[in-house]
C-alpha cells in the first residue's frame, strides 16, 4: 500500500503523458483512416475500404506539379539558408563578448517574428523593390525564416569543436580558406545535414509566407488549402497522409543521422 | 653552423600581463631542447610565437637565419604536436598524416610512401585506415607526432604532449620520443612543467620563470650546478643553507655555516669574503658519518619514510633548521629520534647568491 501511495504522482504523470499522446495521434489516425473510405464524404462508419483515393491522387497532375514545385522551392531555400546560416555561425563564433551575443540575437530574430507579420512585411518589401511575386519571392521569404535554425545548429557544433583543429591545419600548411573547407566544414557536416533537412521541412510546411509571396503556381500547402475550400473529401485525406508519411520519415531520419554522427 | 632558432629580445604582453619578457634564446640544430617552467612562465607563449600563432610585441624570431617574426603559421617550416593532439576526427590515420604532405603538393605515390615510412617508425602500419576515435591515447600521440614530422619541419614543437597520458605510458613515450628524435636527427623543442620529463629526454634544458630564462644547460649541469633558488627548487629537491663566504678560488668555495667551516664547488658568480650566499645540497649528497669528525655536524632524525628503493629522512640540525636526506639501503639504519653525525662532499654542493639578502 505504501509503495502504491508513494507512486501516485508518478502514475498521474504517466497517465497524463499517454493522454497527451492520444490527443496527438487520434486526429492524425482519423485523418489517415478516412483516406481509405470508399465514399465521397468524411464521416463514420467507414464501411468499405479502398485504395482508390491514393490511386487518384497519384495520377492527379496538379497535385504532382505542386509537389514538384514545393520540392524546388525547398531545395533553393535550403541551399541559400545553409550558405548564409553557416556563414553567420562562423561570424558569431569568432566574435568575442557582447557583440557575439548581439549578432546571435539578430540572427535568431526571424525565427520568433510571427509568420503573418513577416509575410506582410516581406510582401510590402518586394513590391517596394518591384520584385514580382513568385518563386524568387517565396524562396526569399522561406530563407529568412530558415536561416536561424541553420545558425543555431551550426553554432552548437562549432562551439564543441576543439580550437586546436584549425590551428593544426594552419600549422600543417593550410591557409584559412583551405582550413575552413578541409577541417571546419567536414566537422560541421552532421550539423549542416540536420539543418538542411530542417530547412526542407520548414519550407514545405510554410503556408503563410507562400500565400503572400506566391504567384499562380501553388505549392503543396496552397493546393491543399484550395481543395479544402472546395469541400472536404477523402482525396484530401490521402494527400495529407502522403505528406505526413514523407515528412515524418525525413524528420526521423534527420534525427537518427545527427545522433549517429554526433556520437562519433 | 647557424643556429636553427634565434629569439632576439622578444617580448609578448597581453594587456598589462607580460608573458615573455625580453627573451634571448638560441637553439642549435639536431638537439632535443626543453623549455621547462611552471604554468604561466611563458614557455607555451614562446612555442606559439615560433609556431606563428602569436606575434611578439617586439623583437625578432629567426628560423635558420631567416626572419619569420610576422609570418603566418602556414608559411613557416615548423610543426606542432598539440597538447590534446588535435587529430582531425573525420580523417583516418593515414589521411591525418598525409594532410601536410598534400598541402606541400606531393604526388599521391610519394605521399603514400612517406606515410607508410612514418607509420613504420612507430609500429602503426596496421592502423592506417583507423579513425582517431578508434585509437588509444598512446597511439593518438604517435599519430600526432608523425603528422607533425611528415612535412619535414626544421623544428618540431611539442606542447606538453605527454600530459594527457597516465604515468606508465608517459615514461614509455619519453623514451620513444627521445629515440625518434635521435633517429630522425630533427631539432625538437619540447615544452613541459615536469622536471623529470625534461631531465629524461633533453640535451638542453631552458628553465623559464616570469617570462625570462632563469638558466640554460644540459640536464646534469642544471641539476648539479643550479644558479638560482628557483632552479635549485624547481629541478629536484634541494636543501638551501644560509652561509657566509670565507674565501673562493677556482678549486672551490670556503664558507661558514652555523659557525662551522664547510665547502662547496666554485660559484658561477664572482664571490668575495663576507658575501651572504645559499649552499645547495641535494638530499642524496648528505652523508652519514660513522664517527663525529671535524668536517661533519650533529643532527637528530625527526622523520623517516621508507620509499622502497630509498628512505627519505628529515633531520633537524642544532640551529633548528631541517634538512632532507635521501638514504640508500644499507647506508644508514638510524631510526627516528636518533642522533646522527652528518656531512657532505664539497664537490656535491654548490653556492648561489642569496637573493633575499642581496635585496
Considering B204, B229, B254, which residue would you say is the last residue of a domain?
B229
Q: Specify whether B187 is located in the same domain as B276.
A: no
In total, chain B counts a number of residues equal to 359
What tens-digit pLDDT sequence spans chain B (359 residues)?
A: 678 998 999 999 898 888 888 899 999 988 999 999 998 888 999 999 999 899 999 999 999 888 888 899 988 989 999 988 899 998 999 899 999 898 888 888 889 898 998 898 888 888 988 999 898 888 898 999 999 999 889 999 999 888 878 888 888 889 888 988 998 889 999 999 988 889 989 999 999 998 889 999 999 988 988 888 899 888 888 888 888 888 877 777 888 887 778 888 877 777 777 788 888 988 888 888 877 776 778 888 888 888 888 888 888 888 778 888 888 877 777 777 778 888 888 888 888 888 776 54
Considering B203, B229, B255, which residue would you say is the last residue of a domain?
B229
- Distance between CA A3 and CA A11 in Å, rounded? 12
CB-based contacts of B243: which residues, under 8 Å, 6+ apart? B255, B256, B257, B262, B276, B277, B278, B279, B351
Probe site for chain B from A172, A179, A192, A263 (most B CB atoms < 10 A): A172
Measured CA to CA in angstroms, residue A223 lies from A36, A41, A232 at distances of: 21, 19, 13
| Pick from A172, A183, A187: CB nearest B100 | A172
Q: Which three cell numbers stand for residue B196?
A: 623529470
Q: Specify whether B192 is located in the same domain as B327.
A: no
Say how many C-beta atoms besides its own lie within 10 A of residue B25's C-beta. 21
Nearest Cα to Cα of residue B218 among B233, B199, B246: B199
Residues of A in contact with B145 (CB under 8 A): none
Q: Which three cell numbers stand for residue B312?
A: 627519505
Residue B260 DSSP SS3: strand
CATH number at residue B121: 3.40.50.300
Probe site for chain A from B63, B87, B103 (most A CB atoms < 10 A): B103
Q: Specify whether B163 is located in the same domain as B302.
A: no
Q: Specify whether B263 is located in the same domain as B210.
A: no
Q: Specify whether B325 is located in the same domain as B180.
A: no
**ipTM of the complex, rounded to two decimals:** 0.80
Q: Which three cell numbers stand for residue A185?
A: 566544414
Q: Specify whether B142 is located in the same domain as B284.
A: no
Q: Specify whether B148 is located in the same domain as B247.
A: no
* Residue numbers of the domain that contains B16: 5-229
Q: Specify whether B163 is located in the same domain as B224.
A: yes
CATH superfamily, domain A54-263, is MetI-like (1.10.3720.10)
B84 and A186 within 8 Å at the Cβ level: the answer is no
A172 and B99 within 8 Å at the Cβ level: the answer is yes
Query: For A263, which residue in chain B has the nearest alpha carbon?
Result: B133
Q: Specify whether B90 is located in the same domain as B163.
A: yes
CA distance A201 to chain B (A): 28
Q: Is A262 on the interface with B (CB under 8 A)?
A: no
| Pick from B73, B83, B133: CB nearest A171 | B73
Residues of B in contact with A164 (CB under 8 A): 82-84, 86
**Domain ranges (residues) in chain A:** 2-34, 54-263
Q: Specify whether B57 is located in the same domain as B128.
A: yes
Q: Is B80 on the interface with A (CB under 8 A)?
A: yes
CATH number at residue B318: 2.40.50.140
Helices A234-263 and A220-229 cross at an angle (nearest 10°) of: 150
Considering B229, B249, B267, which residue would you say is the last residue of a domain?
B229
> Between β-strands B66-67 and B311-317, what pairing exists: parallel, antiparallel or unpaired?
unpaired
How many domains does the structure of chain B reveal? 2
Q: Specify whether B201 is located in the same domain as B284.
A: no
Task: Residue window 81-110, chain B: list those with CB within 8 Å of chain A.
Answer: 82-84, 86-90, 99-100, 103-104
- Distance between CA B155 and CA B192 in Å, rounded? 17
Q: Specify whether B256 is located in the same domain as B214.
A: no
Amino acid at each position: 500500500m505504501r509503495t502504491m501511495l508513494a507512486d501516485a504522482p508518478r502514475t498521474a504523470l504517466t497517465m497524463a503523458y499517454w493522454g497527451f499522446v492520444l490527443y496527438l495521434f487520434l486526429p492524425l489516425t482519423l485523418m489517415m483512416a478516412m483516406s481509405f473510405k470508399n465514399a465521397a464524404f468524411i464521416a463514420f462508419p467507414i464501411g468499405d475500404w479502398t485504395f482508390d483515393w491514393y490511386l487518384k491522387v497519384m495520377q492527379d497532375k496538379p497535385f504532382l506539379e505542386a509537389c514538384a514545385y514545393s520540392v524546388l522551392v525547398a531545395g533553393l531555400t535550403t541551399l541559400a539558408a545553409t550558405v548564409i546560416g553557416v556563414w553567420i555561425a562562423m561570424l558569431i563564433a569568432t566574435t568575442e563578448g557582447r557583440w557575439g551575443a548581439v549578432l546571435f540575437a539578430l540572427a535568431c530574430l526571424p525565427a520568433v517574428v510571427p509568420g503573418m507579420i513577416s509575410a506582410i512585411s516581406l510582401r510590402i518589401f518586394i513590391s517596394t523593390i518591384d520584385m514580382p511575386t513568385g518563386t524568387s519571392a517565396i524562396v526569399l521569404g522561406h530563407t529568412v525564416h530558415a536561416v536561424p535554425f541553420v545558425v543555431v545548429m551550426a553554432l552548437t557544433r562549432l562551439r564543441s569543436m576543439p580550437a586546436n583543429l584549425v590551428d593544426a591545419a594552419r600549422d600543417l600548411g593550410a591557409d584559412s580558406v583551405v582550413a575552413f573547407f578541409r577541417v571546419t566544414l567536414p566537422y560541421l557536416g552532421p550539423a549542416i545535414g540536420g539543418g538542411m533537412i530542417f530547412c526542407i521541412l520548414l519550407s514545405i510546411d510554410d503556408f503563410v509566407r507562400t500565400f503572400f509571396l506566391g504567384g499562380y503556381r501553388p505549392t503543396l500547402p496552397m493546393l491543399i488549402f484550395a481543395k479544402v475550400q472546395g469541400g472536404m473529401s477523402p482525396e484530401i485525406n490521402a494527400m495529407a497522409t502522403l505528406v505526413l508519411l514523407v515528412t515524418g520519415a525525413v524528420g526521423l531520419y534527420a534525427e537518427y543521422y545527427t545522433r549517429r554522427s554526433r556520437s562519433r | 653552423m647557424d643556429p636553427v632558432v634565434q629569439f632576439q629580445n622578444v617580448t609578448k604582453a597581453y594587456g598589462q600581463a607580460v608573458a615573455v619578457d625580453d627573451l634571448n634564446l638560441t637553439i642549435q640544430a639536431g638537439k632535443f631542447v626543453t623549455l621547462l617552467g611552471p604554468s604561466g612562465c611563458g614557455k607555451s607563449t614562446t612555442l606559439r610565437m615560433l609556431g606563428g600563432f602569436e606575434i611578439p610585441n617586439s623583437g625578432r624570431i629567426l628560423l635558420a637565419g631567416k626572419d619569420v617574426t610576422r609570418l603566418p603559421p602556414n608559411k613557416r617550416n615548423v610543426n606542432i604536436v598539440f597538447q590534446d593532439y588535435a587529430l582531425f576526427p573525420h580523417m583516418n590515420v593515414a589521411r591525418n598524416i598525409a594532410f601536410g604532405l598534400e598541402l606541400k603538393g606531393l604526388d599521391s605515390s610519394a605521399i603514400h610512401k612517406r606515410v607508410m615510412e612514418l607509420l613504420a617508425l612507430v609500429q602503426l602500419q596496421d592502423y592506417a585506415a583507423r579513425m582517431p576515435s578508434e585509437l588509444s591515447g598512446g597511439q593518438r600521440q604517435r599519430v600526432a607526432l608523425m603528422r607533425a614530422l611528415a612535412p619535414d619541419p626544421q623544428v618540431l614543437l611539442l606542447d606538453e604532449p605527454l600530459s594527457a597520458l597516465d604515468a606508465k605510458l608517459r615514461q614509455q613515450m619519453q623514451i620513444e620520443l627521445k629515440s625518434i628524435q635521435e633517429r630522425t636527427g630533427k631539432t625538437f623543442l619540447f615544452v613541459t612543467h615536469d622536471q623529470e620529463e625534461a631531465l629524461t629526454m633533453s640535451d638542453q634544458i631552458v628553465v623559464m620563470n616570469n617570462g625570462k630564462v632563469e638558466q640554460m644547460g644540459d640536464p646534469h649541469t642544471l641539476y648539479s650546478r643550479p644558479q638560482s633558488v628557483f632552479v635549485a627548487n624547481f629541478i629536484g629537491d634541494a636543501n638551501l643553507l644560509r652561509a657566509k663566504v670565507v674565501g673562493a678560488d677556482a678549486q672551490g668555495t670556503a664558507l661558514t655555516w652555523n659557525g662551522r667551516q664547510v665547502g662547496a664547488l666554485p660559484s658561477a658568480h664572482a664571490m668575495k669574503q663576507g658575501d651572504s650566499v645559499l649552499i645547495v645540497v641535494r638530499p642524496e649528497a648528505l652523508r652519514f658519518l660513522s664517527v663525529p669528525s671535524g668536517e661533519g655536524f650533529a643532527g637528530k632524525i625527526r622523520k623517516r619514510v621508507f620509499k622502497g628503493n630509498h628512505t627519505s629522512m628529515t633531520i633537524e640540525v642544532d640551529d633548528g633548521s631541517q634538512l632532507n636526506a635521501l638514504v640508500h639501503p644499507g647506508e644508514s639504519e638510524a631510526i627516528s629520534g636518533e642522533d646522527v653525525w652528518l656531512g657532505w662532499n664539497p664537490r656535491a654542493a654548490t653556492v648561489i647568491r642569496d637573493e633575499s639578502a642581496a635585496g
